[in-house]
């Protein structure tokens, strides 16, 4: 008889984003061996319950105001900032905007457990409400194994206010008391939680990875008449393309072929310099598979992640970039996991986010290598290790060794 898993998350298709892809992969690959019941937010494009082989998705509504304030890649800059301001303001008025959703899920989770018991609950942070649901459930059902997925830091997140950190610290103490295992996206984050939650028995990293089965070969072009680069995803906070654009303006003066940029799914919250406007094109968000195919069509892909006090952050697109057999120009924290992975896999060019001259130099290097027909890409063996299916085998191994 199949073991049963309750997956509690606010992130699930048809929503988009790295968190959604992680949760969908959990459900997709765990369902090969287990019955999965997903408890998530209601989306107007779906019915409340969706049956898909061994996956059942239960959707419960959130407040209307918070639904309409979700950011979209089609939002103009003013609308993007207005939604952000409104969400911050509502956060002060309603400190727990998902409280009703949390109550509905808790009731449904208990009812379904009594009808057909779960062997494992798997909740994912952030936001914190899925873990709060798991804590309440675990208090009454101690024999059910709880895996707490930590996509981000909790109380150690340096971007939070004192009040936010204090609340998350209290939640961490409860996670420490009731969770059977903690997983996260990288070893540095796992190590942080080992310190924050010393009573939890099991910790391991489950990288986000890529989630397609397309096969690509590194194409070596000859007689190059144009070079293309791609960026996939959003810009926000310190993650902006300004410093790359500045380097690009300098470098294009030194090369003999035109270079063309394609930005997919970006918010309109940045400015393209006048000298580059004719060679940079903005496109709407694509489906995941179409996005991956577009990554492969580029001569190289751009990764931007600012240097901060936060460590252990890969950014989701990195794994897809590696999978498509195209070089990566990484403008990142050279002392963090993304730079380490690219260096170990020998699949790109790394420049410190805070070093403009280094960015220009690495941009010249990637262009020069491409012009000579040299591609820095990962080996097929290393790429295979980054597939989400392979990463999720770690969760299966834990369940088989502990869950009854």
Interval 86-115 mean pLDDT: 82
Crossing angle for the helix pair 162-178 and 129-140, to the nearest 10 degrees:
30
Interval 96-116 mean pLDDT: 94
pLDDT for res 160: 82
pLDDT band of 75, cuts 50, 70, 90: low
Tens of pLDDT, residue by residue over 278-289, are 999 999 988 889
Average pLDDT over the chain reads 88
Tens of pLDDT, residue by residue over 212-262, are 999 998 776 667 789 999 999 888 877 889 999 999 999 999 888 999 999
pTM value? Answer: 0.84
Tell me which residue of 64, 68, 69, 97 sits closest to 84, measured CA to CA.
69
pLDDT for res 30: 96
pLDDT for res 279: 95
The larger pLDDT score, comparing residue 374 to residue 78, is at: 374
pLDDT for res 66: 56
Least confident of 21-25, 161-165, 297-301: 161-165
Interval 122-139 mean pLDDT: 96
Decide if pLDDT at 127 tops 80: yes
Decide if pLDDT at 45 tops 70: no
Decide if pLDDT at 74 tops 90: no
| Pair 260, 252: CB distance under 8 Å | no
CA distances from 188 to 198, 286, 321, 332, 335 (A): 15, 32, 22, 16, 12
pLDDT for res 404: 74
How many other CB atoms are there within 10 angstroms of residue 284's CB atom?
A: 9
The two three-digit tokens of residue 171, written as one number: 């939640």
Decide if pLDDT at 80 tops 70: no
pLDDT for res 72: 55
| Pair 338, 315: CB distance under 8 Å | yes
The domains of the chain, with CATH numbers, are 4-62+98-209+388-402 (3.40.50.2000), 227-385 (3.40.50.2000)
């Amino acid at each position: 008889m199949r073991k049963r898993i309750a997956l509690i998350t606010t992130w699930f298709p048809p929503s988009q984003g790295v968190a959604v892809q992680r949760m969908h992969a959990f459900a997709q690959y765990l369902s090969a061996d287990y019955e999965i019941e997903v408890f998530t937010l209601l989306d107007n494009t779906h019915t409340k319950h969706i049956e898909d082989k061994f996956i059942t998705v239960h959707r419960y509504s959130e407040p209307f105001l918070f639904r309409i304030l979700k950011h979209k890649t089609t939002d103009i800059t003013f609308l993007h900032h207005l939604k952000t301001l409104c969400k911050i303001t509502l956060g002060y008025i309603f400190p727990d905007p998902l409280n009703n959703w949390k109550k509905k899920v808790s009731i449904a989770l208990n009812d379904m457990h009594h009808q057909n018991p779960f062997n494992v609950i798997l909740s994912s942070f952030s936001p914190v409400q899925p873990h709060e649901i798991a804590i309440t459930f675990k208090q009454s059902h101690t024999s059910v194994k709880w895996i707490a997925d930590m996509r981000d830091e909790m109380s150690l997140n340096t971007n939070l206010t004192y009040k936010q950190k204090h609340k998350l610290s209290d939640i961490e103490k409860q996670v420490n008391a009731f969770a059977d295992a903690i997983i996260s996206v990288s070893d540095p984050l796992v190590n942080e939680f080992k310190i924050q939650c010393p009573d939890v028995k099991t910790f391991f990293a489950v990288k986000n990875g890529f989630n397609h089965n397309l096969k690509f070969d590194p194409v070596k072009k000859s007689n190059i008449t144009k070079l293309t680069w791609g960026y996939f995803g959003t810009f926000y906070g310190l993650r902006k393309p300004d410093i790359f654009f500045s380097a690009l303006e300098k470098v294009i003066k030194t090369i003999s072929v035109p270079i063309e940029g394609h930005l997919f799914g970006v918010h309109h919250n940045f400015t393209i310099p006048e000298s580059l406007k004719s060679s940079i094109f903005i496109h709407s968000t694509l489906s995941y598979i179409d996005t991956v195919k577009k990554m492969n069509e580029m001569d190289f892909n751009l990764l931007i992640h600012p240097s901060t006090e936060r460590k252990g952050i890969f950014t989701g697109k990195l794994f897809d970039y590696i999978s498509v057999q195209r070089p990566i120009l990484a403008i990142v924290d050279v002392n963090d996991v993304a730079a380490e992975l690219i260096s170990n896999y020998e699949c790109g060019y790394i420049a410190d986010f805070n070093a403009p001259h280094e960015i220009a130099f690495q941009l010249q290097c990637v262009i020069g290598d491409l012009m000579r027909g040299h591609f820095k890409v990962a080996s097929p063996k290393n790429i295979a290790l980054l597939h989400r299916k392979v990463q999720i085998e770690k969760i299966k191994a834990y369940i088989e060794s502990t869950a009854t």
